[in-house]
Amino acid sequence: MTDHSPCHFPYSVMQSAAARMMLIALTTIALLSMARPARAQSAVHTVAPGDTLSEIAQQYGTDMDTLIALNGLSNPRHIWVGQQLRLPAQAIWRASESAAYGGATDAYSVQPGDTLSGIAAARGVSLQELAAMNGLPPLTRVVIGQWLTVPAGGDEIDAADTATAYAAAGMAGNEQLHVVGPGESLGSIAQLYGVASAAIAQRNGIANPSLITVGQRLVVPNAAQVIASGVYAQGFPGNVAFPPTGGKWIEVDLSRQQVTAYAGAAVQQVFLISSGAAATPTVIGTFQIETKLTEQTMTGGSEAAGTAYRLPNVPWVQYFYQDYAFHGAYWHNSFGTPLSNGCINMRIADAQWLFDWAGYGTMVIVHE
């Protein structure tokens, strides 16, 4: 990268970020050193009177087959008081997260019609909190019979009511039902799913986006519906045919901070991004993917001006014009806000998907 690389952040910001990262690292080291004995203990379960293997599996959110294989058990009925059973890594992680939650927890078996967000709302926690307690990505689709660690108490989940809500909403394929949790806004929900808040508002007939309530069910539209509604298509350059090609192409909508991957007119994926800030805007026009790198150290700026930076191991880099590129960004989570020096910052998983999907020569159209 040159000193004029569009992918930098002001040096003061990088210094602040570096200071925060150092503080976090030191704090983490201290906590890990303090917690190491407890963590070692949580790697096993000591069988207590009355325990059964199925109950132990349920307690840690795993299954009997995993415990049998991990502990070399020949007969799952023959366990004894005081026996120490090894736990799988995910169960250990979940146990530590439940302890970090600080409150009493229950084991909950997913019922027909349940969603992770619905369970979270019924138990009085946010979707992100419940997902963290179970070691799951927030957008995980839970399956019937899956065991989850949940806060004790709360409302009973009415699965029949949830299933009715799916039918009543006339939900299409790939749509998701989100139950509004404590502290959530339409904007935070939209960012979670990587779609425009206007698209969710339009799909649910919401006139005032600030008036959503805890427990309210929202249908999150899929990408094809959103493009059909015009929420993404608005602002597409009038002098460019739609679709511009029958093959793969990428639209970068700067006004909505979104990237849409197309095959002809068919939407493949939609991603939330961070493009160039006002002082360092992303280039506008029609381009194509020229260079692809699985990772790269990005440097640039000026020591004298206090704008120097160095970002090692930036993943899934795809240059489409000079120093302008799509790439993963591990140093922030402010997607939906223009803050780069011109590059298209993406969540790492999103950048990898685009990297694997697009080829050399794939058309890129960037517009306001």
* Structure confidence at residue 11 as a pLDDT band (50, 70, 90): very low
Q: What is the CA radius of gyration of the chain?
A: 24
* Three-class HEC string of the chain: CCCCCCCCCCHHHHHHHHHHHHHHHHHHHHHHHHHHHHHHHCCEEECCCCCCHHHHHHHCCCCHHHHHHHHCCCCCCCCCCCCEEECCHHHHHHHHHHHHHCCCEEEEECCCCCCHHHHHHHCCCCHHHHHHHCCCCCCCCCCCCCEEEEECCCCCCCHHHHHHHHHHCCCCCCCEEEECCCCCCHHHHHHHHCCCHHHHHHHHCCCCCCCCCCCCEEEECCHHHHHHHCCCCCCCCCCCCCCCCCCEEEEEECCCCEEEEEECCEEEEEEEEECECCCCCCCCEEEECCEEEEEEEEEECCCCCCCCEEEEEEEEEEEEECCEEEEECCCCCCCCCCCECCCEEECHHHHHHHHHHCCCCCEEEEEC
- pLDDT, residue 190, reads 75
193 and 166 within one domain? yes
Between 44 and 226, the more confident residue is 44
Task: Kindly tell me the sign of the dihedral angle through the C-alpha atoms of 138, 295, 258, 289.
Answer: negative
96 and 155 within one domain? no
The domain that holds 358 is classified in CATH as 2.40.440.10
210 and 117 within one domain? yes
Q: What angle, rounded to 10 degrees, do the helices at 186-193 and 197-204 form?
A: 110
Structural domain includes residue 30: no
Mean pLDDT, residues 213-223 taken together: 79
Q: What range defines the domain where residue 81 resides?
A: 41-102
Which tens digit of pLDDT belongs to each residue from 242-280? 678 888 999 998 988 889 898 887 778 888 899 998 888
362 and 249 within one domain? yes
* Alpha-carbon gap, residue 182 to 350, rounded angstroms: 27
**Encoded tokens for 312:** 């090692």
97 and 126 within one domain? no
Angle at 71 between CA 69 and CA 73, to 5 degrees: 75
Q: Are strands 248-253 and 217-220 parallel, antiparallel or unpaired?
A: unpaired
* Alpha-carbon gap, residue 287 to 284, rounded angstroms: 9
331 and 280 within one domain? yes
- pLDDT, residue 252, reads 94
85 and 45 within one domain? yes
87 and 188 within one domain? no
196 and 289 within one domain? no
Mean pLDDT, residues 345-354 taken together: 93
* Alpha-carbon gap, residue 45 to 278, rounded angstroms: 55
Structural domain includes residue 83: yes
Main-chain phi, psi angles of 365, to 5 degrees: -115, 120
Structural domain includes residue 125: yes
**Encoded tokens for 91:** 């169960």
Structural domain includes residue 3: no
The CB density around residue 296, as the number of other CB atoms within 10 Å, is 19
Structural domain includes residue 142: yes
| Closest CA relative to residue 272, chosen from 321, 315, 329, 323 | 329
* Alpha-carbon gap, residue 100 to 121, rounded angstroms: 20
**Encoded tokens for 175:** 């749509």
**Encoded tokens for 118:** 């619905």
- State which amino acid sits at residue 174: N
Which among 62, 78, 102 is the end of a domain? 102
Structural domain includes residue 303: yes
Main-chain phi, psi angles of 58, to 5 degrees: -65, -40
| Closest CA relative to residue 149, chosen from 92, 109, 89, 181 | 109
Structural domain includes residue 25: no
pTM: 0.44
The domain that holds 60 is classified in CATH as 3.10.350.10
Which among 81, 102, 123 is the end of a domain? 102
* Structure confidence at residue 16 as a pLDDT band (50, 70, 90): very low
48-62, 194-208, 344-358: which has the highest mean pLDDT?
344-358
184 and 301 within one domain? no
**Encoded tokens for 89:** 């890594």
Mean pLDDT, residues 337-348 taken together: 91
Which tens digit of pLDDT belongs to each residue from 106-163? 888 888 777 787 788 777 777 777 877 877 766 667 777 788 888 876 655 555 555 5
Which tens digit of pLDDT belongs to each residue from 19-49? 555 555 555 444 444 433 333 333 577 888 7
Which among 102, 130, 146 is the end of a domain? 102
**Number of folded domains that form the chain:** 3
129 and 149 within one domain? yes
90 and 115 within one domain? no
Predicted confidence (pLDDT) at residue 83 exceeds the cutoff of 80: yes
Structural domain includes residue 20: no
* Alpha-carbon gap, residue 180 to 193, rounded angstroms: 13
